[in-house]
Chains A and B, each alone.
Chain A
């Protein structure tokens, strides 16, 4: 299996700076397909890393505890299960730190670009005129960290365009802006 390129992900996360600030693409060292010319990418908030790590911990910690208790009561083999869960948790911890800086979005005149993934990369182009509706969601942990997720919906179920880890003001601004641009360019199906 090919290892994700470069070790610059974590470093870039550290110096990513302000929430949703405009940074030209230096994050993933993307090859051409994921970096159309003349596009200035906006990043998601680095707080998303902490938020996702907390969420992961909240899910896996109880499982580990239960498995360890069962191991103590019944047979120590069950502790292997706890070890596996702990390993997955550690892996997710590490992965989150690399994946979050890879999220990016860019508003262009006619469409919105959303990019994510390091190992499995993906870039989606959503024309404003095709937007059917926009969701803004925030779970309890995300709210705690002051984050929200913007999900775009077109008439196609394959449009996989979501931007997590936006500060609520930015999410609201984006939602209103998309609605406004969508109205201006609305097309039939």
Chain B
């Protein structure tokens, strides 16, 4: 942030360049470890454009969406229209053509009016045809960087770059589409700039490294993913529903139920398919820029989570995964807007199905300071092991009192919490086992609640509030005095951890992740 090199003095620019004074290029020392083209992204603080093929892809998307809508909604009426077949075909084709041209022209105008640039403080994007929008995303607030390559984009060698900056829903900055190398280059440049890594800090590392070196840690084999998908609750439900329908239809001697259930069936199967296709070829890698996840069957996705960006973590094990000993790991990352739908789940899963050893590897990357006896997978596994399978006081957990069995008859012996130097662990679930981990430094606020039945039994529930995501850490039915003490102590621990937390720019100081 200390460098001062006016935009005009930077390298030769393209036609999109404009002379604007108050822009600082990223400190050259920061870019030192990058290769020349990546460094150019940072050193040239001028405006850049998206790839010229973008309008074509967008126009096609519009046409496809309208076509799909028309067919699904009005397919029957369309066939019943009383005109010659050739005329109908001509009308439909003509309509689509007009739509495509209009879409392409609009997209082309939109493309011309969209531009972005990276400077010392922020990524700035300007877009919009009628309503102009200028967005600037602060680099030190960068939470995650994703490179997404949809199926169609892959044909053209294009990719979308998505930046999360944790500003609630709709705070995402999307650059679609860039050439694949360009997208990766901008990503690496952004991460280097956001990390605040300076040449003199790097200890004379590999200056020509195209990106921070990454070390693959876990790869989920497709065979296991298939088996895990088949063993998931949604698959079981689909099969049960199908059996019930067939039996019902045979008994009623009618196909009406089958036809009626068709949309539901399509939805259910597509949900199962989505989960499979998302988790396909899932690879977790470790790099100084953070954790890198690559996955996808048709749409490829490469996510980068910088160190310290994970707000909370949940490990779960559905009932049918118990025998093979598989676990799923999900995280809360600020800005990964999580709706009830699939889109949220997609980004927040950091391990779709993994063994205990792989789980430990992932934990060691996500929360390096977690292990009680130091960093590394063994320490992390030793810490969480009792949380995954233990019950009562096993593993140093504080259990819930016996009176909790009236409110949680199935899993009250699993409910409990444990506090370590760096994190809070909440255990629960007997059929679907669950362990939530929240670093003390990431607690937003705390809550304690008590319903009328809980009061009669002398119980209370404590919740740790995390950013929006799949993890909602909560310990149900603790003894009331224990809950009261936990609330006070945890507030103190969070305060102390916050004061000692590392800098937002994870390489600019002695960040401990």
Spell out A's residues near B (CB within 8 Å).
Answer: 1-5, 31-34, 36, 110-111, 119-127, 129-130, 154-161, 187-189
Contacts and interface: CB of A to CB of B under 8 A. Distances in A.
A155 B450 contact: no
Interface in B66-87: none
A157 B472 CA distance: 10
Interface residues on B, range: 35 or more
A188 B504 contact: yes
A127 B441 CA distance: 12
B497 to A, nearest CB: 10
Between B447, B466, B472, the greatest number of chain A beta carbons within 10 A of the residue's beta carbon is seen for B447
Between B334, B450, B460, B494, the greatest number of chain A beta carbons within 10 A of the residue's beta carbon is seen for B450
Contacts of A31: 455, 480
B488 A158 contact: no
A99 to B, nearest CB: 14
Interface string B442-460: 1011111111110110001
Given A2-B453, A127-B491, A155-B444, A187 B480 contact: no
Nearest to A110: B495
A129 B445 CA distance: 10
A80 to B, nearest CB: 29
Interface string B290-301: 000000000000
Nearest to B455: A2
Interface of B: 141, 143, 166, 311, 334, 442, 444-453, 455-456, 460, 463, 465-468, 472, 480-481, 483-484, 487-488, 491, 494-495, 498, 501, 504
B438 to A, nearest CB: 11
A32 B481 contact: yes
A156 B501 CA distance: 19
Contacts of A120: 449-452
Contacts, number: 103
A149 B442 CA distance: 28
A127 B498 contact: yes
B445 A125 contact: yes
Contacts of B504: 188
A189 B334 contact: yes
10 contacts: A111-B495, A121-B449, A122-B448, A123-B448, A124-B447, A125-B445, A126-B445, A154-B445, A158-B472, A159-B447
A160 B494 CA distance: 18
A77 B64 CA distance: 53
A159 B488 contact: no
A36 B452 contact: no
Contacts of B311: 189
A28 to B, nearest CB: 11
A121 B256 CA distance: 50
A1 to B, nearest CB: 6
A158 B452 contact: no
Nearest to B140: A188
B472 A125 contact: no
Nearest to B492: A110
B143 A189 contact: yes
A33 B334 CA distance: 30
Contacts of B484: 32-33, 36
A121 B446 CA distance: 14
A187 B441 CA distance: 10
Contacts of A119: 451-452
Between A119, A127, A158, A161, the greatest number of chain B beta carbons within 10 A of the residue's beta carbon is seen for A158
A4 B447 CA distance: 21
Nearest to A32: B484
Contacts of B491: 110-111, 125, 127
A7 B286 CA distance: 61
Between A4, A32, A124, A188, the greatest number of chain B beta carbons within 10 A of the residue's beta carbon is seen for A188
Nearest to A123: B448
